[in-house]
Every structure is written in structure tokens, then in C-alpha cells.
């Protein structure tokens, strides 16, 4: 019984990793890594969010949902979550898992580019997001695309809303500070590869 219990999550992780590597080989620039994020990184990201009231949240590049789980688990039932992912196979997986979520929160999976975040919000009459969470590999995507995504993220956040982005280096800190102002950094060592979580908050004015 104990062995079965132990084998369950290990087998699940290996299957998930195998699927992830297959997808990464097909989309190397979009995924940029052969490992999905760890639960430690996912928790650090979720810890940056105030879940005490309903929130409008968008996640850019959710992949197979490594960061999504703790957000969905902690989200207020009246929250809205948009999952915007460019790889279709990930979208299918996310739709199956989350679109009929038991807690009944509004979770929508969109097979579109993160650069369309402003249009996506306008189509849904969302006036300002509270949080944008992102696992996009800003350093491997084309520079103009990364810049466009940071700009549209800033535009779609409400005043006081936060952009939470992880990266494996501090290389993109300055680009984000050029748009948002000072970025707060959190280090997560228990991840392959060790990561930095950037938190940038839009001015209240």
C-alpha cells in the first residue's frame, strides 16, 4: 500500500516530464527549458498574491499548469483566471483540468499569444487585472515580443496591480524596471534551474 502510494506521484511526475520534454523539443524557443517549475517556485509565486478577496488574474504561459495549481487552490470563489498559452496541447490539458473546476471559479483557457493580453481583456470588459503571473521565457523569446508583452501587461493591470514573473537570471530586471519602476526579487533555489521571482507593482496614480 505504502509502495503504491509512493509510486503514484513518482510515476505521474515521470509521465509528466516525458510529455514536457516532447513538447519542449517541438517548441524549444517557447518553452526554453526541459523541466516544468517546481512546487517550491509555484508556492513562492502564489505567496505574492493577496487571495483574501475576489481577484482578476491572468497567467501567461502556464504550460502544463505547474504554477496554476496553487493559484486555483487558494483563489477566492468569485475570482476570474485567464490562462493564456500558445502551445495547443498544453491548452487541451489545462481545459480538461480546470475549465470545470469543482470550486466553480471562472477559469478560461485561451490558445493565444500573451502579446494579445490587452485585446483579451477588452473582449471581456475587464478594466484592470489585479495580478499577471508569468512563466514566459523573456530572454529566449524575440526581444520585441518580450517588450510588447511587458508593455501590454502594464497597460492591462489596474493601478496597484502586480506583475509576477519568474526567470532563471536577473537579466530582465532592468527591462521591467524601465516600464514599472523598482522590482522586488525573491530567490527560489529548489527549482531546476534556481529561479528569481520578480514582483513589479503598477503605481497607484
Ligand X SMILES: C[S@@+](CC[C@H](N)C(=O)[O-])C[C@H]1O[C@@H](n2cnc3c(N)ncnc32)[C@H](O)[C@@H]1O
- Kindly state whether residue 36 participates in binding ligand X, applying the rule CB under 6 A: yes
DSSP designation for 125: T
> In 3-state terms, what secondary structure has residue 42?
helix
Among 46, 49, 57, 67, binds ligand X (CB under 6 A): 67
Which ranges of 75-142 does DSSP label H, i.e. alpha helix? 88-98, 117-123
Q: Does 161 bind ligand X (CB under 6 A)?
A: no
Residue 87 engages ligand X in binding (rule: CB under 6 A): yes
Q: Does 109 bind ligand X (CB under 6 A)?
A: no
Please report whether residue 84 would count as binding ligand X according to CB under 6 A: yes
72 vs 86, beta carbon nearer ligand X: 86
| Spatial separation of the C-alpha atoms in residues 6 and 4, rounded to whole Å | 5
Residue nearest to ligand X (CB): 61
**What is the CB neighbour count within 10 angstroms for residue 88?**
9
Total residues belonging to the chain: 205
Q: Using the rule CB under 6 A, which residue among 85, 93, 130, 148 binds ligand X?
A: 85
Provide the β-strand partners of residue 110. Answer: 84
- By beta-carbon proximity to ligand X, the closer residue of 115 and 157 is 115
152 binds ligand X, rule: CB under 6 A: no
Shortest Å distance, C-beta 75 to ligand X: 17
Count the residues of the shown chain that bind ligand X, applying the rule CB under 6 A: 25
Which one, of 54, 62, 66, lies nearest residue 13 by Cα? 66
Q: Strand (E) positions, 43-141?
A: 56-60, 80-84, 106-110, 129-134
Answer yes or no whether residue 44 interacts with ligand X by CB under 6 A: no
Q: Does 66 bind ligand X (CB under 6 A)?
A: yes
Is residue 163 a contact residue for ligand X (CB under 6 A)? no
Q: How many CA atoms lie within 13 A of 113 on its CB side?
A: 10
Piece of the chain touching ligand X by CB under 6 A; list 11-19, 50-58, 93-101, 107-115: 107-115
DSSP label at residue 61? -
Half-sphere exposure of 8 (CA within 13 A, CB side): 6
Contacting residues toward ligand X, per CB under 6 A: 27, 30-33, 36-37, 60-63, 66-67, 84-87, 90, 113-115, 135-137, 141
Amino acid at each position: 500500500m505504502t509502495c503504491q502510494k509512493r509510486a503514484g506521484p513518482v510515476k505521474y511526475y515521470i509521465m509528466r516530464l516525458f510529455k514536457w520534454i516532447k513538447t519542449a523539443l517541438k517548441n524549444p524557443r517557447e518553452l526554453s527549458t526541459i523541466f516544468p517549475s517546481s512546487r517550491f517556485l509555484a508556492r513562492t509565486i502564489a505567496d505574492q498574491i493577496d487571495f483574501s478577496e475576489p481577484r482578476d488574474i491572468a497567467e501567461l504561459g502556464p504550460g502544463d499548469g505547474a504554477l496554476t495549481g496553487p493559484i486555483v487552490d487558494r483563489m477566492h470563489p468569485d475570482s476570474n483566471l485567464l490562462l493564456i498559452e500558445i502551445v495547443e496541447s498544453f491548452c487541451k490539458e489545462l481545459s480538461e483540468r480546470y475549465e470545470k473546476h469543482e470550486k466553480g471559479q471562472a477559469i478560461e483557457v485561451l490558445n493565444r499569444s500573451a502579446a494579445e493580453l490587452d485585446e483579451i481583456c477588452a473582449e471581456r470588459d475587464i478594466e484592470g487585472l489585479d495580478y499577471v503571473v508569468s512563466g514566459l521565457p523573456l530572454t529566449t523569446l524575440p526581444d520585441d515580443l518580450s517588450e510588447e508583452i511587458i508593455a501590454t501587461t502594464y497597460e492591462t493591470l489596474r493601478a496597484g496591480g502586480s506583475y509576477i514573473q519568474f526567470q532563471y537570471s536577473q537579466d530582465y530586471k532592468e527591462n521591467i524596471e524601465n516600464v514599472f519602476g523598482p522590482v522586488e526579487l525573491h530567490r527560489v533555489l529548489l527549482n531546476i534551474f534556481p529561479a528569481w521571482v520578480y514582483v513589479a507593482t503598477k503605481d497607484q496614480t
